[in-house]
Structure 1
């Protein structure tokens, strides 16, 4: 079974704007814009029975309002040993509430709790053995970031195949909001 996670699709025009930040960082593996997304709940590698349970319970989502998201700046994960460059996203608390609902659902069907804190973001590049100084220079050169805003009215269940990060991702199911 492929690796599964829920997420929010990034509209093409937002993806195009984010793709302007590609390049200028030696050693970065840039994510293709068609694979940009905001992960809500990582599920992982599961068997077919559990995948059916995931699909079924996500269909019971009570969230019925479209959510507006603002992408408002660049950041990194990893501190002194950077491992990713990402664009920060906010959703006025609604994004965190939707993620929390999905976390409860996944626990209800027996999946282990997610141990990482939810930080809404769009990964732009994965970093391995990239100099922290190069990352700092990259971030300093891109200090001005025009906010990008969009509203989404569905979340999706993605699958990913074994690869070196960054996709390709496949939409297995979509769940409308509103």
Structure 2
């Protein structure tokens, strides 16, 4: 069963600039530059048949391109940090894109996503991090000034079964209209 998710890949300039930040937190599992993306909808482990249905459902829609602006560095799991990320500014087209993906997945019988959509680019994952180390990294690491970008497509990705993680494989590309 493939593990699937939809997401937006980053321009190489953004990936390179973010990869330069990837040091300074002990025990961090830094995300490979080639795997950096903005997740739109985590789908999970599905049968090959359902995977094909998902790919076909996504192809039947017309999608508007969002405007992507990186705003700050942050972490998830404040008291017990578990990931570092670059936050993405709220954008109506981006929110709509994620919301329609959610609706399509539920129509295909998948359970609803329980977390609110918080667009971001994961830079590192970890467990047992010191909150002090994470706060120090956030206080001393500056997000580079990167220009906004408007992607021309999003991807259906697959990851390793049951565990997730990269390397991610692009299973299908879907155009975004400007």
Shared fold, TM over 0.5? yes
Match of 1:43 in 2: 43
Q: Secondary structure at the match of 1:139?
A: helix
Match of 1:126 in 2: 125
Query: Are the counterparts in 1 of residues 66 and 92 from structure 2 also a CA contact under 8 Å?
Result: no
Q: Secondary structure at the match of 1:69?
A: coil
**Residues 1-150 of structure 1: pairs in structure 2 closer than 5 A:** 1-63=1-63, 65-143=64-142, 145-150=144-149
Instruction: Return the offset for 1:149.
Output: 1.6
Instruction: Return the offset for 1:6.
Output: 0.4
Mean Cα deviation higher: 90-99 or 107-116: 90-99
Change over 3 Å in CA distance of 1:144–1:108 after alignment to 2 = closer
How far apart, CA to CA, are the structure 2 residues paired with 1:70 and 1:104? 25
Query: Are the counterparts in 2 of residues 5 and 157 from structure 1 also a CA contact under 8 Å?
Result: yes
Query: Are the counterparts in 1 of residues 17 and 144 from structure 2 also a CA contact under 8 Å?
Result: no
How far apart, CA to CA, are the structure 2 residues paired with 1:24 and 1:76? 14
Instruction: Return the offset for 1:54.
Output: 0.3
How far apart, CA to CA, are the structure 1 residues paired with 2:81 and 2:103? 31
How far apart, CA to CA, are the structure 2 residues paired with 1:27 and 1:135? 11
Match of 1:153 in 2: 152
Could you tell me the TM-score, scaled by structure 1's length?
0.94
How far apart, CA to CA, are the structure 1 residues paired with 2:151 and 2:34? 16
How far apart, CA to CA, are the structure 2 residues paired with 1:164 and 1:50? 19
Change over 3 Å in CA distance of 1:80–1:72 after alignment to 2 = same
Q: Secondary structure at the match of 1:87?
A: strand
Could you tell me the TM-score, scaled by structure 2's length?
0.94
Query: Are the counterparts in 2 of residues 75 and 85 from structure 1 also a CA contact under 8 Å?
Result: yes
Instruction: Return the offset for 1:152.
Output: 0.2
Change over 3 Å in CA distance of 1:109–1:17 after alignment to 2 = same
Instruction: Return the offset for 1:94.
Output: 1.1
Gaps of 5+ in 1: none
Change over 3 Å in CA distance of 1:164–1:133 after alignment to 2 = farther
Higher strand share: 1
Report how many aligned residue pairs link the two structures: 177
